Amino acid sequence: MLDIEDGPSPKKHRRNSKAVDAVAAAERRKQIDAERRQLPAWAARDKLLQLLQEHRTLVLVGETGSGKTTQIPQLLLSARFGSIAASDKFISQNAGEVGPSDDVKSPYEGAGVVDRDGVFRSAVNHEGRTQFNHHTSTGSDVNGVSDHGGPEQQTGIRSVGGSGGSRVYGGAIAVTQPRRVAAMTVARRVAEEMGTKLGDKVGYAIRFEDVTSSSTRIKYMTDGLLLREALVDPMLSRYRVVIIDEAHERTVHTDVLFGLLKGVQVRRGDDFRLIVMSATLDTARFVDYFPGAVAALIRGRQFPVRVMYTAKPEDNYLDAAINATLQVHSDEGEGDILVFLTGQDEIDSAERLLKEHLAALQGSRGASSSGCRELLVLPIYAALPPEQQMKVFEPAPEGQRKAILATNIAETSITIPGVRYVIDTGHVKARDYNAKLGLESLAVVPVSQAQARQRSGRAGREGPGKAFRLYTEADFAVLEPTTPPEITRCNLGSVVLQLKAMGIHDVLGFDFMDPPPRAAILRSLELLYALGALDATGCLTEEVGRRLSRLPVDPMFGRVLLAATEMGCGQEAVAVVAMVSTENVFHTPRQKEREWRAARLKFISREGDHLTLLNVFRGFRELPKESNKARTAWCSDNFINIRAMRKAEDIYEQLVRFLGPPSPPGLGLQLATCGEDSTPLRRALTAGLFPHAAKLQPDGSYRVLATGRQVFLHPSSVLLDRKPDCLVFNELMHTTRTYARDAVAIEARWLPELAPAAFAVKSAAAIAGAGVGTSGGSR
């Protein structure tokens, strides 16, 4: 129940203020109810129910904000369907009838349906400010959906596909989201709409956090979590309906779910409904993939958006974004500004820079020419504390304008009211995986054309808007049309492990919508073999593989935990894994750099970042759990983020429950402590992170033993001052160069002992002497 705000406790209020609250709540409900009825999804209700009576799979496309995520589950909850017999015939009969030929296209996919990208040109003016010219407007074609519909458009929905029967609905509804934040905020909103407490009829579940109960009927969850549920309940028997939302994101979990759900549909017959939803989707692909599927389109409300490009490429999109924001603020009429950036660090610095500029402007000329006195700068990204996230949804106070600095979280999964201007840096942080090197990384890459259109569209939710693309029209033309599915560019270790654990032996033959590269699957099979999770025949080992599949962490970290229980440092390893699973432990305000650096000193372990994090965790746990005050003070004194620590503690306790108790989900393992001796812990880390073992080079960089790749210690690492000869690290990060993040010193001679499958061929001496280009890897 971590990040949940249940509102002020009634006990704190006197009686009359309680009455005032009740009136306010009733007012709010009334208002929410009125809002709901305005949503396009509401108008499409009957038609949608009818389609679901007749089809087992519905591929539903509707503009962001049309009410898909909040309304469709509620609609299904109150709906009653008849029953259908001969379900197997149903599939085969319909498979032939439903084809992609007359498929409904999303307004954003595919040329010729809607092309909202105008022919705007612009020039950089002499002051160095970017000038955006708009010679023409794309005009009404943004409302494209309604422009090319048949008679059914009147109902707000169009359908294609075959026919079928109907059946009885009941049981729970699962709605997956690629992002935790979306699952949380949407569940909260729907609970409010339904007038129930969050976690009661409506709840959410994300990794390490379950806010549901036995009465939960609508469960918002991350796609990864539903995948985990499928591991223990392959038929997903709790659910009558599974909704895969934001399907266009094609996260690796969503893609695996597609394959699994296809199987569930066949086996459960007509006792099951699947809805695949998105604002932007190539519906033909999905109708093709799921037998008996039907595609439908909710007609959205979308106003024209003028799209503008820069005349010349920008050197620095962050600076350009700040300039553009200030420019829109001073030159444009009312409406909030939504700026798409790539990540938290970038957003934090943009926020700071914008505030500095604004303070300077305020000093020099008071109010801006638009009459908007103030620009309210608000960040939104996944790791932001929920109460701060909520701020972006509140309307700007009278006379103020919001500038929302967002990651691609604001592209489709959340709707921010009031936005009329979009500034698109044209970049996004995306997962990338190099199967040959076996390395996964987060890198800033250009967006796809579909993403750029989706971003621009955010400006036209409430009225005509403008989108400023901080790149040239020529650059737009050469962007990828769509983003390739994540499964084709990520580390498949945990996915392959889960498929194996579900008894899907032939992973290469799994019915993927877009099969990942063979090399990536082979690579993950190798990794799992090296970890001891698979035997030489590719079967899951009971001792390691089965256990790893049950742990809600990456197989490499799972292996660390299992090794630690054998090496007598289970408690420390669990703490370390909990800490590395938590973001933003340290608070590092720029203005107080001397202070936080001093505070940090007492936690620093010369042996590495993992041990430093362990020291922080230990310090925090020494304070009594009940004493919120002491904990808050300690965190504040030490520049540590208390929310992150509570999260880490929560993960710690959950992992203990996964490992310790003798009955499932517990694995019945001993969680001993190694006290102050760090060696067992460093050995346990080696036993799981050995694919990320790296050796110091004469030039101060490191070379990854398994791949020969050159990497640099991340500037935040405590090992930077005294680099060890050999280390293992958590992850790689690409910026200007490749950094290894979170590293711990190890002994090279441990590698052949702890990871024989990967290193046995090489003697310890050979590894110790591994030079440039030498591979100690498993291939």
Give me the residues that bind ligand CDP (CB under 6 A), please: 39, 62, 64-71, 185-186, 189, 415
Cα–Cα distance measured from residue 443 to residue 438, given in angstroms and rounded to the nearest whole number: 15
Rounded to the nearest 10°, the torsion over CA 499, 501, 504, 507 is 50
Phi, psi of 167 (to 5 degrees): -155, 180
What is the smallest separation between the CB atom of 422 and Mg ion, expressed in angstroms? 18
What is the smallest separation between the CB atom of 137 and ligand CDP, expressed in angstroms? 25
Phi, psi of 395 (to 5 degrees): -65, 150
440's CB contacts (< 8 A; 6+ apart) are 431, 432, 433, 434, 490, 491, 731, 732
Between residues 73 and 558, which has the closer beta carbon with respect to Mg ion? 73
For the beta sheet containing 57-62, the strands, ordered from the edge strand earlier in sequence to the opposite edge, are: 157-160, 293-298, 57-62, 273-278, 239-244, 172-177, 218-222, 202-206, 209-211
Between residues 109 and 346, which has the closer beta carbon with respect to ligand CDP? 109
* CA-angle at 662, arms to 199 and 610, nearest 5°: 75
What is the smallest separation between the CB atom of 70 and Mg ion, expressed in angstroms? 7
Between residues 70 and 483, which has the closer beta carbon with respect to ligand CDP? 70
* 122 binding partner (options ligand CDP, Mg ion, none; Cβ < 5 to 8 Å by kind): none
Could you tell me the CA-to-CA distances from 335 to 140, 240, 354, 400, 417 in Å, in that order? 20, 42, 18, 9, 10
What is the smallest separation between the CB atom of 621 and ligand CDP, expressed in angstroms? 35
* 138 binding partner (options Mg ion, ligand CDP, none; Cβ < 5 to 8 Å by kind): none
* 185 binding partner (options Mg ion, ligand CDP, none; Cβ < 5 to 8 Å by kind): ligand CDP
What is the smallest separation between the CB atom of 641 and ligand CDP, expressed in angstroms? 24
DSSP annotation of 353? H
The sign one gets for the Cα dihedral 557, 561, 567, 569 is: positive
DSSP H or E run through 466: strand 465-469
Between residues 375 and 459, which has the closer beta carbon with respect to ligand CDP? 459
Could you tell me the CA-to-CA distances from 364 to 330, 359, 368, 562 in Å, in that order? 14, 9, 10, 62
Between residues 184 and 671, which has the closer beta carbon with respect to ligand CDP? 184
Between residues 71 and 254, which has the closer beta carbon with respect to ligand CDP? 71
What is the smallest separation between the CB atom of 304 and Mg ion, expressed in angstroms? 22
CA 140 to chain centre: 33
* 280 binding partner (options Mg ion, ligand CDP, none; Cβ < 5 to 8 Å by kind): none
Between residues 209 and 270, which has the closer beta carbon with respect to ligand CDP? 209
Between residues 69 and 778, which has the closer beta carbon with respect to Mg ion? 69
What is the smallest separation between the CB atom of 38 and ligand CDP, expressed in angstroms? 9
Cα–Cα distance measured from residue 83 to residue 269, given in angstroms and rounded to the nearest whole number: 12
| 643-648: long-range pairs with CB below 8 Å, 24+ | 643/3, 643/385, 644/582, 644/583, 644/584, 644/585, 645/582, 645/585, 645/616, 645/617, 645/620, 646/2, 647/2, 647/208, 647/582, 648/575, 648/578, 648/579, 648/581, 648/582, 648/585, 648/617, 648/620
What is the smallest separation between the CB atom of 285 and ligand CDP, expressed in angstroms? 20
Between residues 69 and 571, which has the closer beta carbon with respect to Mg ion? 69
Could you tell me the CA-to-CA distances from 212 to 50, 71, 93, 201, 734 in Å, in that order? 30, 19, 39, 8, 38
Look at residue 439 and give its three-state secondary structure: strand
Beta strand 710-713 pairing with 738-745: parallel
What is the smallest separation between the CB atom of 491 and ligand CDP, expressed in angstroms? 30
* 186 binding partner (options Mg ion, ligand CDP, none; Cβ < 5 to 8 Å by kind): ligand CDP
* 29 binding partner (options Mg ion, ligand CDP, none; Cβ < 5 to 8 Å by kind): none
What is the smallest separation between the CB atom of 203 and ligand CDP, expressed in angstroms? 15
Interface residue list for Mg ion (CB under 5 A)? 68-69
Closest CA to 77 of 43, 52, 40: 52
* CA-angle at 294, arms to 293 and 298, nearest 5°: 140
* 565 binding partner (options ligand CDP, Mg ion, none; Cβ < 5 to 8 Å by kind): none
* 62 binding partner (options Mg ion, ligand CDP, none; Cβ < 5 to 8 Å by kind): ligand CDP
Between residues 48 and 718, which has the closer beta carbon with respect to ligand CDP? 48
Cα–Cα distance measured from residue 50 to residue 65, given in angstroms and rounded to the nearest whole number: 22
Between residues 189 and 741, which has the closer beta carbon with respect to ligand CDP? 189
218: which strand partners?
173, 202
What is the smallest separation between the CB atom of 64 and ligand CDP, expressed in angstroms? 4
* 224 binding partner (options ligand CDP, Mg ion, none; Cβ < 5 to 8 Å by kind): none
Cis peptide bond N-terminal to 665, omega within 30: yes
Tell me the residue nearest to Mg ion as measured from the CB.
69
Q: What share of residues in the chain are helix, strand, coil (percent, to 5)?
A: 45, 20, 40
Cα–Cα distance measured from residue 730 to residue 693, given in angstroms and rounded to the nearest whole number: 10
What is the smallest separation between the CB atom of 305 and ligand CDP, expressed in angstroms? 17
* 70 binding partner (options Mg ion, ligand CDP, none; Cβ < 5 to 8 Å by kind): ligand CDP
What is the smallest separation between the CB atom of 193 and Mg ion, expressed in angstroms? 14
Between residues 68 and 692, which has the closer beta carbon with respect to Mg ion? 68
Token pair 């509102």: residue: 7
Between residues 189 and 734, which has the closer beta carbon with respect to ligand CDP? 189
Instruction: Determine contact, residues 124/182, Cβ cutoff 8 Å.
Output: no
Q: Which residues of 377-399 are buried (b: 16+ CB within 10 A; e: fewer)?
A: bbbbbebbeeeebeebbeebeee
* 67 binding partner (options Mg ion, ligand CDP, none; Cβ < 5 to 8 Å by kind): ligand CDP
Between residues 76 and 576, which has the closer beta carbon with respect to ligand CDP? 76
What is the smallest separation between the CB atom of 189 and ligand CDP, expressed in angstroms? 4
Tokens coding 10:
């009634």
* 544 binding partner (options Mg ion, ligand CDP, none; Cβ < 5 to 8 Å by kind): none
Instruction: Determine contact, residues 491/442, Cβ cutoff 8 Å.
Output: no
Between residues 4 and 445, which has the closer beta carbon with respect to ligand CDP? 4
* 212 binding partner (options Mg ion, ligand CDP, none; Cβ < 5 to 8 Å by kind): none
What is the smallest separation between the CB atom of 199 and ligand CDP, expressed in angstroms? 16
Neighbours of 488 (CB within 10 A): 17
Closest CA to 430 of 415, 441, 418: 441
* 485 binding partner (options ligand CDP, Mg ion, none; Cβ < 5 to 8 Å by kind): none
* 39 binding partner (options ligand CDP, Mg ion, none; Cβ < 5 to 8 Å by kind): ligand CDP
Cα–Cα distance measured from residue 326 to residue 329, given in angstroms and rounded to the nearest whole number: 5
What is the smallest separation between the CB atom of 740 and ligand CDP, expressed in angstroms? 38
* 458 binding partner (options Mg ion, ligand CDP, none; Cβ < 5 to 8 Å by kind): none
732: which strand partners?
441, 740
Between residues 62 and 608, which has the closer beta carbon with respect to ligand CDP? 62
Tokens coding 340:
């798409």
